């Protein structure tokens, strides 16, 4: 492999100034005045007193940040979320829907801002809601230093300003998921799709953490420093740890920061106090800092264990859920960033004329390394790595090293002149002749750091999609008199990029040749069935509806709901809805798009009959999706006695998985507090929601827990897992549920369903009550769960005279679910419970009925329909083919549909 030095290429110079490159270069602002207290409040200056007093500034120059936009405001889509107090820039690309707020800037706009990034375009990684700290509360913000220390202390921000030296450092923060979209295109990871703009650089002002730890005095045997924030999340407060010797090393530059670019921290960036860890992944820089704990072992925080790891590449999402010791293995924890680079110009979709006046094009982008290492070279190839060109590198960070020793910036000493560590990104560029670009198929870039670690050619796929850093490839398309450039991907769900195009065409992105066809390799484009488009609206309806009108119909009178911005009146369907009137009341006044799109095509075809109008644009933005409900329910500090809510998604934490058979497990969830009950009536169901980790699309299914309705603190859900097979795809929800680790949350909502058992023979179906003398319960597989709820209610009430016949069909004896529990219910209730298990694939030792639940069995055990007044009700739940077969057989035996209840 040959490295070529062209005449247009110069070796990097240690103190190269920031390059002025078109279209909008990273700009250097001259520092010619004291900016030590530009944005300090009077109170802050008074608290700080004489410490770090501004000193005369020597004549020098280094980059200053771009001005923040004065017109940012709370965006309409955030108004109904817990982040309704946070102003934001509308240019940011949302990666995880409306809430929580995870964003990156458009890549070219990030590059154009220059070396320093404004707070408006700085990337944001939030796991949940943003704590709301008012300006008059900032100086009183308190945090503690505790654990293995001689002198545990509590400090306020005012103490931090008054008692400790302040410093200002330029630091680049990088999310460990930067460029993850590329991994997700190859194969879905458990993380959402960052593009190549998951990084930003700012001037951070605060206190060196070593100064704080020296005040507390770590004890002998202490090895780690744990941080915890104030952001309350489903799995506890966000927390992580770093090694103590790193925190004590001034070369590492770890700060407890209270300013960003001279301003009080923005809420999204940790207002009023955060940790900033240079050279390491962004996940270590805990925001809204409340606690520093010195320990002998790494943090046991859920987010430290299950976030920010690079597991071995053979561990897939399904395997990972059952490997708790693998997650806890500190060898797989990631701290220092790896070396990475990306091309910013040419932009994705940019076109360059081959017939214009320009003879060359300035290809340019960014690079960074981790652990304080310097990027020492950036190389470009136009022939897939056969030969390389050496790019120019600019290191704006070095300009701060020229500042005088006593220089202050934003109230902090600019203390970087002595340090060899590099904490910031650098910029590279190379002028390439247009003719050379026209002869190439692509442009690829790789960077190397001072330890000679170079970006790899190929991707290392991992289950969380972290630290993706293969060569960054931009494809060149030759079109009439111009070149068009195509980046690998676009962030979030934005379409575009050569990787998606190649994959859709059947290319193998893992073949080592970027998905291009290789001799002897078969490529088959995935055939997609044409989508059947069902119109959900009445095209004659032209009414525009406001959010105020919608909210007037948010109760049980004329319930309206929204699907994809269209408004529907559910009044006519209250009785006929399969989920019962409660399903519609639960959606009243809400956006029900997520729940609705799991429905059948028949249900969708009915929608024009209920369509009454379109929500106006402002109301669409205000009306949040189910994301809002989920967060509002969890953030409510009041201890509700009932867990389930009809209009809000509420989170419960997965605490155990119990295997019942090869494909069936009981999933146990911890409710919000130990005395809380689920609040699910007998015979009703609840909805469970998980999100696809890549698309953020909601996966929603209904289940009937097997928990006792009076049980407290726990929820037990029996689930049959439908795994993928070579012949067909498995169940999205069941496989997603099986793949999440212990400690993960799941959203719940309810109750739903038309049927409820009221006790002692009384039940309600829709709005009608009915007396039952005998239940005929026909079920198969996990269809036993709603049957079990009713059966248990009947059998546990000694004064309930209702008789029950249970016909339970399965393949093998192992497949009989809840067998021991049902046998226990039969003890003492033989006079009112008849139980038959039939197996379609029994062992020779099986002595019970054999075969499926067929006409012979039903005719023998159930018999023909009795005369009206017999008060029999048939409850049916099982696989769809079984339900269809039972329905047809009972129909031939004379049974009426009003006496059949399908769960």
Contact at 8 Å (CB) between 226 and 247? no
| β 611-615/544-545 pair status | parallel
Peptide bond into 751 cis (omega under 30): yes
Residue 886 shares a structural domain with residue 869? yes
| Encoded tokens for 1 | 């492999």
Q: What residues of the chain score a pLDDT lower than 50? A: 1-39, 41-59, 523-532, 624-637
Question: Going along 525-620, which residue ranges are E strands?
Answer: 544-545, 560-563, 566-569, 611-615
Longest CA pairwise span in the chain (Å) = 103
Q: Which residue among 40, 83, 231, 307 is the active-site one?
A: 307
According to DSSP, residue 652 is labeled E
Asked if the structure places residue 830 within a domain, the reply is yes
Give the domain CATH number at 582: 3.10.120.10
If you average pLDDT over every residue of the chain, what do you get?
A: 87
Q: Specify the 3-state DSSP secondary structure of 454.
A: strand
Give the domain CATH number at 410: 2.60.40.650
**DSSP one-letter string for 320-336:** HTT-HHHHH-GGGB--B
Q: In what order do the strands lie in the sheet with 755-759?
A: 755-759, 762-765, 768-771
Residue 110 shares a structural domain with residue 211? yes
Asked if the structure places residue 219 within a domain, the reply is yes
In angstroms, the CA 198 to CA 174 distance is 6
In angstroms, the CA 698 to CA 696 distance is 6
Q: Specify the 3-state DSSP secondary structure of 587.
A: helix
In angstroms, the CA 748 to CA 649 distance is 5
Q: Helices (H), strands (E): how many in the chain?
A: 23, 44
CA 55 to chain centre: 47
Strand partners, 484: 351, 477
In angstroms, the CA 112 to CA 384 distance is 28
Asked if the structure places residue 27 within a domain, the reply is no
| β 745-752/102-104 pair status | unpaired
Among 752, 783, 814, the domain boundary falls at 752
> Which residue, 741, 743, 739, is CA-closest to 730?
739
Tokens 């904490």 correspond to what residue? 423
> Which residue, 864, 806, 861, 796, is CA-closest to 834?
806
Among 504, 533, 557, the domain boundary falls at 504
Residue 363 shares a structural domain with residue 499? yes
In angstroms, the CA 694 to CA 682 distance is 36
Instruction: Tell me the pLDDT tens digit for each residue of 121-177.
Output: 999 999 999 999 999 999 999 999 999 999 999 999 999 999 999 999 999 999 999
| β 360-368/340-345 pair status | antiparallel
**Confidence (pLDDT) at 550:** 85
Contact at 8 Å (CB) between 200 and 117? yes
| Encoded tokens for 3 | 């490295």
In angstroms, the CA 244 to CA 248 distance is 6
In angstroms, the CA 241 to CA 233 distance is 18
Asked if the structure places residue 880 within a domain, the reply is yes
Q: In what order do the strands lie in the sheet with 102-104?
A: 93-94, 102-104, 124-125
In angstroms, the Cα distances linking 762 to 308, 788, 790 are: 53, 17, 11
**DSSP one-letter string for 88-106:** B-TTSEESSSSSS-EEE--
Phi, psi of 364 (to 5 degrees): -155, 160
In angstroms, the CA 62 to CA 356 distance is 36
Per the structure, the count of domains in the chain is 5
Question: Going along 721-832, which residue ranges are E strands?
Answer: 745-752, 755-759, 762-765, 768-771, 774-780, 803-810
Contact at 8 Å (CB) between 344 and 107? yes
| Encoded tokens for 432 | 């390439």
CA dihedral 121, 126, 129, 132 (to 10 degrees): -60
- Give the residue ranges of DSSP H helices in 125-258: 157-163, 180-186, 209-216, 244-248
Q: Specify the 3-state DSSP secondary structure of 725.
A: coil
Residue 671 shares a structural domain with residue 802? no
Give the domain CATH number at 229: 3.90.420.10
**In degrees, to the nearest 5, what angle opens at C-alpha 417 toward C-alphas 415 and 419?**
90
CA 610 to chain centre: 34
Question: Going along 199-272, which residue ranges are E strands?
Answer: 199-208, 224-233, 236-243, 255-260, 263-264
Residue 792 shares a structural domain with residue 871? yes
Residue 130 shares a structural domain with residue 194? yes
Phi, psi of 182 (to 5 degrees): -60, -40
According to DSSP, residue 747 is labeled E
In angstroms, the CA 484 to CA 494 distance is 19
Contact at 8 Å (CB) between 363 and 392? no
In angstroms, the CA 779 to CA 790 distance is 13
Tokens 């969830």 correspond to what residue? 669
Residue 735 shares a structural domain with residue 762? no
Asked if the structure places residue 306 within a domain, the reply is no
**DSSP one-letter string for 597-639:** TTS-HHHHHTGGGGEEEEE-HHHHHHS--HHHHHHHHHH--S-
**In degrees, to the nearest 5, what angle opens at C-alpha 879 toward C-alphas 878 and 880?**
115
In angstroms, the CA 187 to CA 181 distance is 10
Does the CA dihedral 350-355-361-363 come out positive or negative? positive
Asked if the structure places residue 57 within a domain, the reply is no
**Does residue 426 carry a catalytic annotation?**
no
Range of the domain at 294: 84-299
Among 731, 752, 773, the domain boundary falls at 752
According to DSSP, residue 640 is labeled -
Residues 6+ apart with CB under 8 A from 50: none
Q: Specify the 3-state DSSP secondary structure of 267.
A: helix
**Confidence (pLDDT) at 19:** 38
**Does residue 307 carry a catalytic annotation?**
yes
Residue 564 shares a structural domain with residue 704? no
> Which residue, 481, 495, 805, 747, is CA-closest to 631?
747
Contact at 8 Å (CB) between 687 and 680? no
Length of the chain: 903
> Which residue, 752, 756, 745, is CA-closest to 667?
745
Q: Which residue among 52, 112, 175, 508 is the active-site one?
A: 175
Give the domain CATH number at 841: 3.40.50.80
Residue 715 shares a structural domain with residue 607? no
In angstroms, the CA 53 to CA 49 distance is 8
In angstroms, the Cα distances linking 656 to 291, 737, 899 are: 29, 12, 38
Q: Which residue among 184, 235, 308, 468 is the active-site one?
A: 308
> Which residue, 760, 762, 764, 794, is CA-closest to 777?
794
Residue 102 shares a structural domain with residue 201? yes
Tokens 């605060």 correspond to what residue? 206
> Which residue, 265, 237, 263, 338, is CA-closest to 86?
265
Residue 248 shares a structural domain with residue 291? yes
Peptide bond into 830 cis (omega under 30): no
Give the domain CATH number at 689: 2.40.30.10
> Which residue, 628, 716, 719, 630, is CA-closest to 678?
716
| Encoded tokens for 476 | 């060149």
**Does residue 175 carry a catalytic annotation?**
yes
Residue 14 shares a structural domain with residue 153? no
**In degrees, to the nearest 5, what angle opens at C-alpha 581 toward C-alphas 579 and 584?**
85
Asked if the structure places residue 273 within a domain, the reply is yes
Q: How many CB atoms lie within 10 A of CB 710?
A: 7
Asked if the structure places residue 349 within a domain, the reply is yes
State the burial class of residue 231 (Cβ atoms within 10 Å of its Cβ: 0-12, 13-18, 19+): buried
């Amino acid at each position: 492999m040959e490295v070529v030095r062209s005449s247009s290429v110069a070796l990097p110079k240690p103190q190269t100034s920031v390059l002025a490159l078109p279209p909008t270069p990273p700009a250097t602002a001259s520092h010619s005045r004291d900016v030590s207290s530009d944005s300090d409040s009077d109170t802050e200056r008074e608290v700080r007193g004489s410490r770090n007093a501004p000193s005369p500034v020597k004549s020098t120059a280094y980059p200053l940040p771009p001005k923040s936009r004065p017109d940012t405001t709370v965006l309409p889509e955030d108004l109904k979320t817990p982040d309704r107090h946070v102003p934001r820039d509308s240019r940011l690309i949302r990666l995880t829907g409306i809430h929580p707020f995870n964003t990156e800037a458009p890549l070219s706009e990030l590059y154009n801002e220059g070396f320093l990034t404004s707070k408006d375009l700085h990337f944001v990684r939030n796991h949940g809601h943003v704590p709301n700290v008012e300006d008059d509360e900032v100086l009183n913000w308190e945090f503690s230093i505790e654990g293995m220390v001689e002198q545990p202390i509590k400090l306020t921000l005012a103490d931090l300003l008054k008692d400790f030296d302040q410093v200002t450092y330029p630091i680049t923060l990088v999310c460990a998921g930067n460029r993850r979209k590329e991994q997700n295109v190859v194969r879905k990871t458990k993380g959402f799709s960052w593009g190549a703009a998951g990084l930003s650089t700012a001037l951070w002002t605060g206190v060196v953490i070593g100064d704080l730890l020296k005040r507390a005095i770590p004890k002998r045997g202490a090895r780690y420093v744990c941080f915890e924030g104030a952001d309350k999340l489903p799995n506890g407060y966000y927390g992580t740890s770093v090694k103590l010797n790193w925190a004590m090393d001034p070369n590492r530059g770890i700060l407890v920061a209270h300013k960003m670019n001279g301003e009080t921290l923005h809420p999204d960036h940790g207002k009023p106090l955060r940790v900033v860890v240079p050279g390491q992944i962004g996940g270590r820089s805990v925001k809204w800092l409340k606690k520093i704990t010195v320990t002998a072992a790494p943090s046991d925080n859920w987010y430290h264990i299950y976030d920010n790891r690079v597991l071995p590449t053979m561990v897939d999402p399904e395997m990972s859920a059952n490997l708790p010791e693998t997650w806890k293995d500190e060898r797989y924890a990631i701290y220092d960033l790896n070396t990475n680079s990306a091309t910013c110009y040419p932009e994705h979709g940019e076109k360059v004329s081959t017939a214009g006046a320009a003879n060359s094009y300035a290809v340019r982008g960014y690079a960074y390394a981790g652990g304080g290492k310097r990027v020492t070279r950036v190389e470009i190839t136009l022939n897939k790595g056969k030969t390389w060109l050496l790019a120019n590198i600019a290191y704006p960070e070095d300009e701060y090293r020229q500042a005088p020793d006593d220089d202050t910036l934003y109230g902090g000493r600019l203390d970087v002149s002595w340090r060899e560590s590099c904490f910031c990104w650098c910029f590279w560029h190379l002028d390439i002749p247009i003719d050379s670009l026209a002869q190439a198929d692509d442009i690829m870039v790789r960077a190397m750091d001072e330890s000679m670690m170079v970006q790899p050619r190929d991707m290392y796929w991992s289950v969380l999609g972290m630290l993706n850093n293969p060569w960054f490839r931009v494809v060149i398309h030759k079109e009439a008199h111009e070149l068009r450039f195509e980046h690998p991907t676009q962030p979030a769900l934005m379409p575009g990029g050569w990787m998606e195009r190649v994959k859709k065409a059947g290319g193998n992105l893992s073949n080592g040749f970027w998905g291009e066809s290789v001799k002897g390799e078969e490529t088959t484009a995935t055939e997609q069935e044409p989508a059947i488009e069902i119109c959900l609206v009445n095209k004659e309806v032209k009414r525009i509806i406001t959010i105020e009108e919608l909210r007037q119909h948010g109760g049980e009178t004329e319930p309206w709901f929204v699907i994809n911005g269209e408004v529907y009146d559910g009044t006519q369907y209250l009785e006929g809805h399969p989920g019962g009137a409660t399903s519609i009341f639960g959606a009243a006044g809400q956006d029900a798009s997520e729940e609705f799109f799991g429905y059948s095509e028949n249900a969708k075809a009915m929608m024009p009959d209920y369509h009454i109008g379109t929500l106006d644009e402002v109301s669409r933005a205000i009306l949040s999706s189910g994301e809002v409900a989920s967060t509002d329910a969890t953030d409510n500090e009041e201890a509700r006695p009932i867990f389930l809510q009809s209009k809000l998604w509420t989170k419960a934490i997965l605490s155990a998985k119990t295997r019942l058979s090869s494909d069936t497990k009981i999933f146990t969830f911890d409710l919000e507090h130990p005395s809380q009950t689920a609040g699910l009536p007998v015979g009703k169901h609840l909805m469970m929601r998980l999100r696809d980790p890549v698309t953020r699309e909601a996966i929603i299914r209904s289940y009937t827990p097997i928990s006792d309705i009076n049980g407290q603190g726990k929820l037990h859900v029996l689930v049959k897992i439908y795994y993928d097979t070579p012949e067909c795809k498995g169940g999205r929800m069941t496989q997603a549920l099986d793949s999440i680790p212990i400690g993960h949350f799941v959203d719940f909502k309810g109750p739903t369903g038309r049927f409820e058992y009221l006790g002692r023979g009384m039940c309600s179906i829709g709005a009608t009550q009915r007396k039952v003398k005998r239940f005929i319960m026909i079920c198969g597989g996990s269809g036993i769960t709603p049957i079990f709820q009713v059966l248990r209610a009947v059998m546990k009430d000694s004064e309930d005279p209702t008789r029950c016949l249970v016909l339970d069909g399965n393949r093998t004896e192992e497949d009989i679910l809840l067998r021991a529990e049902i046998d226990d219910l039969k003890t003492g209730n033989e006079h009112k419970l008849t139980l038959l298990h039939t197996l379609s694939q029994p062992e020779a030792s099986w002595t019970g009925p054999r075969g499926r639940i067929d006409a012979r069995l039903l005719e023998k055990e159930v018999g023909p329909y009795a005369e009206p007044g017999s008060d029999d009700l048939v409850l049916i739940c099982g696989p769809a083919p079984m339900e269809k077969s039972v329905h047809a057989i009972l129909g031939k035996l004379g049974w009426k549909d009003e006496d059949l209840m399908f769960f």
